Amino acid sequence: MDKKETKNRIEKLRDEISRLRHLYHTENNPRVTDDVYESLTKELNELERKFPDLADPNSAVRRVAGEPLSKFIKVKHKIRMVSLNDTFSEEEVLDWENRIKKLVNKDFNYFCELKFDGLSASLIYENGVFKSGATRGDGFIGEDVTENLKMVNTIPLVLNPLKSLLARKGVSLGKDDFVPKYLEVRGEIVMSKRAWKELNKNQEKEGKPIFANTRNAAAGSLRQLDSKIVKERNLDFFAWDIADIIFNDTNKRLKNHSEKHELLRKLGFSMSPYERKVKNIKDAFIFIKEVAEIRDKLPYGTDGVVISVDDLSIQESLGIVGKAPRYMTAFKYPAEKATTILKNITVNVGRTGVLTPVAHFNPTFVAGSLVSKATLHNMDQIERLNIKIGDTVVIQKAGDVIPEVVEVLVGMRSGKEKKFKMPDFCPVCGGKVENKKIAFYCTNKNCGAKNNRGMQHFVNVYEIYEIGPKILERLKEEGLISDSADLFTLERADLSGLERFGEKSADNIINSIEEHKKVSFWRFIYALGIIHVGEQTAHDLADHFHNLDNLKNSSLENLNDIENIGPAVSESIYNYFRDKHNLDFINKLFENGVQIIEEKKKTGNLTGKVFVLTGTLPTLSREDAKKKIIENGGKVSSSVSSNTSFVLAGDEAGSKLKEAQKLGIKIISEQDFLKML
């Protein structure tokens, strides 16, 4: 994008982010998931970093949350509620660590805890009794939701040590039994996955809108004016920080963030069930991976892990920059949705002839992998979503499915977007395309895309043995490939998202494809699947023409002059290179990275000798025998002629043996052949 396009894109992003924030925070009406919102915000951040002169100090990404709802009383936070900067990879976490280590001259530990997917709230206690609570709001001013918070069972209305005091009725207490004079606790209002499913079931029965996820459900529930409804919604609260504390003992101080958690747990708060104090960032990564393995099974929604510098004195020295503290970062697990710009739409043809539109975009990180293609399924889906080339779209990749486009952000349109139309003719064979209502089909029965055998022949000749018939069929069904040339456009993310394709098997296939992009000229010819052209004919053509241009431009007469090539074979080769779609396929191979390499002519004991094989050999297969002949400089012919040097005969030799005897050609056994080698 040039400067003008970038400026327009930034303005569009700001408008869309502001609109989505208003819908979510003010109207309590989320139109997109958090993944989509964060993806747009990340893009805006990156563009503002690249073009600082286009950055806006009042940009939406520099605000913590939305304006407070007018139906609740506004309250000013005594201490600002900040937000955290997000990191999405180990590299980004290491960058964060490098930045803070430049400002700190001593070693320190980290504290790791779950990042709950809910609504942040602040609770105030005086002498151990819950007094008031508020939402984050814009970080400075929130909404007073005290009565609603009282309906959350996991929020203690009276702190633990004070309960002990009341129970003991005057028994003198130790120093540790006294609750703080003043306490401000920060934490997350959440809804369990079980409660969310139950709520949606009831909402559906009553004809009310359902909640997209547990976070939306928690936020919507806490903002109810009737606190009885809040009680019915079964919300929970997990504490994660102490913003302010005044002890009875003025000498008492908390030294570490981990000590805050210990104290909150003693006071009766529900805390993160998974947390760990670690010595270094490497151990933090271990914790992140451990949580990733159990995350889906947790009863509450979590979208990451918060990593903090544990030492509170270091936290204080690092301070806050903009909206976020320097001493904390939120590692976010890969989102299942992301936004990207749809650059182009191509069409793949499956084994049944059905045409599948495929979206192409810049490599985008979603669900743990970089993807650059996504299925659009069919024309109905394109029309339903009103997809145009150039649109900002939402892509989704969840579990064992290939990425798909699920939404268009119409508000991001610039007016340059183009409508897509299905082709009238098949992109593989040129056959007429017919709309059969359910889908568009190629009507040519002999379309190359329908020929699984031809594709299997291709991968076998290229020796890409990791791709078998079932894998080929699956790739065609998913719309990832139409022909053999499409194999060379596959990426790891295309395969790793498919059912039963792990990262290792995806890597093996992609590596094998990459390794076999360079092929000898005879393999290139043989793999094309030209009728009547076998392995030896491919060798003969390569030896005679030396390069593809010579072969493509050869006349029928020239082809007929080649030894062992008769009129039918010559005609088949000649016609193949006169077909536009065959030439398009060859060009597509080159465009996708295939290269013909010059192979030195092999010489050996059999140089200049022509062999014909017949019958079954005692130990060697025909393929093994052919390979040995070619490796040692010899040639293999399919028919006996006066030019034949030897006939290698085994058991049950047929007419070729009789023809050799008739012409006086020397007949050898496998033992004779091996001695020659």
pLDDT tier at 166, thresholds 50, 70, 90: very low
In a domain, 69, yes or no: no
The lowest-confidence range among 499-508, 533-542, 643-652, 657-666 is 499-508
Range from 308-317, 532-541, 590-599 that averages highest in pLDDT: 308-317
**Looking at residue 171, what is its pLDDT?**
44
Quick one: which H or E segment has residue 261?
A: helix 257-267
Task: Yes or no: say if 95 and 127 are a contact pair by the CB < 8 Å rule.
Answer: no
> Rounded to an integer, what distance in angstroms lies between the CA atom of residue 113 and that of residue 506?
33
Say yes or no: 34 and 98 in one domain. no
The lowest-confidence range among 54-68, 520-534, 622-636 is 54-68
> Rounded to an integer, what distance in angstroms lies between the CA atom of residue 281 and that of residue 90?
9
User: 638 pLDDT exceeds 80?
Assistant: no
Report the number of distinct structural domains present in the chain: 5
Q: Among residues 71, 78, 101, 115, which one is catalytic?
A: 115
End-to-end CA distance of the chain: 63
The lowest-confidence range among 111-120, 496-505, 535-544 is 496-505
pLDDT, mean of residues 372-383 = 87
User: 398 pLDDT exceeds 60?
Assistant: no
Six-digit token string for 318? 């690092």
> Rounded to an integer, what distance in angstroms lies between the CA atom of residue 60 and that of residue 15?
9
Q: What is the CATH number of the domain that holds 197?
A: 3.30.470.30
In a domain, 500, yes or no: no
Per-residue b or e along 389-415, where b marks 16 or more CB atoms closer than 10 Å to that residue's CB:
bbbbbbbbbeeeebbbbebbbeebeee
pLDDT tier at 111, thresholds 50, 70, 90: very high
> Hey, how many other C-beta atoms are within 10 angstroms of the C-beta on 620?
18
Say yes or no: 98 and 217 in one domain. yes
User: 370 pLDDT exceeds 90?
Assistant: no
Six-digit token string for 567? 């009129």
> Rounded to an integer, what distance in angstroms lies between the CA atom of residue 372 and that of residue 363?
4
Helices (H), 295-451: 312-318, 379-385
User: CA angle 564-618-610, nearest 5°?
Assistant: 20
3-state secondary structure 287-305: HHHHHHHHHHHCCECEEEE
Q: At what angle do helices 469-477 and 452-461 cross, to 10 degrees?
A: 120
Helix (H, G, I), strand (E, B) or coil at 115: strand
Phi, psi of 365, rounded to the nearest 5 degrees:
-85, 115
pLDDT, mean of residues 464-485 = 85
pLDDT, mean of residues 450-479 = 84
pLDDT, mean of residues 544-567 = 89
User: CA angle 446-447-452, nearest 5°?
Assistant: 90
User: 57 pLDDT exceeds 80?
Assistant: no
Domain boundary pick from 332, 367, 395: 332
Say yes or no: 188 and 274 in one domain. yes
Say yes or no: 225 and 132 in one domain. yes
Helix (H, G, I), strand (E, B) or coil at 178: coil
**Looking at residue 60, what is its pLDDT?**
53
User: 403 pLDDT exceeds 90?
Assistant: no
User: 675 pLDDT exceeds 60?
Assistant: yes
The residues with which 241 forms a beta bridge, in sequence order, are 186
Give which of 253, 322, 310 is closest to 113, Cα–Cα.
310
Query: What percent of the chain stands above pLDDT 90?
Result: 40
In a domain, 450, yes or no: no
Q: What is the CATH number of the domain that holds 42?
A: 1.10.287.610
Residue 213 per-residue DSSP state: S
User: 165 pLDDT exceeds 50?
Assistant: no
**Looking at residue 109, what is its pLDDT?**
96
DSSP string, 14-55: HHHHHHHHIIIIIS----S-HHHHHHHHHHHHHHHHH-GGG-
Task: State which residues form the domain around 42.
Answer: 3-62
The lowest-confidence range among 10-19, 21-30, 311-320, 501-510 is 21-30
Give which of 455, 477, 470 is closest to 505, Cα–Cα.
470
What amino acid is encoded at 53 in this protein? D
Say yes or no: 52 and 177 in one domain. no
Six-digit token string for 475? 């790739």
> Rounded to an integer, what distance in angstroms lies between the CA atom of residue 70 and that of residue 64?
18
Six-digit token string for 671? 């033992």
pLDDT, mean of residues 506-535 = 90
Place of tokens 């286009």: 54
> Rounded to an integer, what distance in angstroms lies between the CA atom of residue 533 and that of residue 411?
56
Phi, psi of 667, rounded to the nearest 5 degrees:
-105, 130
**Looking at residue 369, what is its pLDDT?**
67
Say yes or no: 145 and 11 in one domain. no
Say yes or no: 327 and 358 in one domain. no
Quick one: which H or E segment has residue 278?
A: strand 275-278
In a domain, 589, yes or no: yes
The lowest-confidence range among 162-176, 294-308, 403-417, 576-590 is 162-176
Task: Yes or no: say if 287 and 112 are a contact pair by the CB < 8 Å rule.
Answer: yes
In a domain, 512, yes or no: no
**Looking at residue 432, what is its pLDDT?**
93
Task: Yes or no: say if 128 and 225 are a contact pair by the CB < 8 Å rule.
Answer: no
Tell me the pLDDT tens digit for each residue of 253-265.
899 999 999 999 9
> Rounded to an integer, what distance in angstroms lies between the CA atom of residue 182 and that of residue 124?
7
Q: What is the CATH number of the domain that holds 659?
A: 3.40.50.10190
Contacts of 526 (CB under 8 A, 6+ apart): 461, 533, 534, 535, 538
In a domain, 577, yes or no: yes
Say yes or no: 412 and 542 in one domain. no
User: 167 pLDDT exceeds 50?
Assistant: no
Domain boundary pick from 273, 304, 332: 332
Phi, psi of 371, rounded to the nearest 5 degrees:
-125, 150
Say yes or no: 328 and 348 in one domain. no
Residue 412 per-residue DSSP state: G
**Looking at residue 168, what is its pLDDT?**
47
**Looking at residue 64, what is its pLDDT?**
52
**Looking at residue 368, what is its pLDDT?**
65
Q: What is the CATH number of the domain that holds 539?
A: 1.10.150.20
Give which of 675, 534, 633, 631 is closest to 648, Cα–Cα.
675
> Rounded to an integer, what distance in angstroms lies between the CA atom of residue 449 and that of residue 426?
10
Looking at per-residue confidence, does 44 or 167 come out higher?
Answer: 44
User: 119 pLDDT exceeds 70?
Assistant: yes
Cβ contacts of 445-453, under 8 Å, gap ≥ 24: 447/349, 447/353, 448/483, 448/581, 448/585, 449/348, 449/349, 449/350, 449/351, 449/353, 449/476, 449/482, 449/483, 450/349, 450/351, 450/352, 450/353, 452/351, 452/476
Average pLDDT, rounded, for the chain: 86
Domain boundary pick from 384, 407, 441: 441
Question: Would strands 610-614 and 646-649 be described as parallel, antiparallel, or unpaired?
Answer: parallel
Say yes or no: 35 and 102 in one domain. no
> Hey, how many other C-beta atoms are within 10 angstroms of the C-beta on 46?
10
Place of tokens 């909150």: 264
Give, in order, the Cα–Cα distances in Å from 649 to each of 239, 623, 642: 84, 14, 17
> Hey, how many other C-beta atoms are within 10 angstroms of the C-beta on 94?
14
pLDDT tier at 548, thresholds 50, 70, 90: very high
Say yes or no: 260 and 146 in one domain. yes
Range from 325-329, 501-505, 626-630, 660-664 that averages highest in pLDDT: 325-329
> Hey, how many other C-beta atoms are within 10 angstroms of the C-beta on 363?
12
In a domain, 504, yes or no: no
> Rounded to an integer, what distance in angstroms lies between the CA atom of residue 130 and that of residue 125?
4
Give, in order, the Cα–Cα distances in Å from 263 to each of 53, 160, 183, 266, 502: 46, 11, 11, 5, 44
Q: What is the CATH number of the domain that holds 368?
A: 2.40.50.140
Give which of 525, 491, 531 is closest to 511, Cα–Cα.
491
pLDDT, mean of residues 111-128 = 93
**Looking at residue 642, what is its pLDDT?**
83
Say yes or no: 255 and 116 in one domain. yes
Tell me the pLDDT tens digit for each residue of 171-227.
444 555 567 889 999 999 999 999 999 998 998 888 887 887 788 889 888 888 888
**Looking at residue 568, what is its pLDDT?**
84
Q: Is 115 a catalytic residue?
A: yes
**Looking at residue 477, what is its pLDDT?**
77
The lowest-confidence range among 254-268, 498-512, 552-566 is 498-512
pLDDT, mean of residues 526-536 = 87
Give which of 341, 382, 387 is closest to 364, Cα–Cα.
341
In a domain, 446, yes or no: no
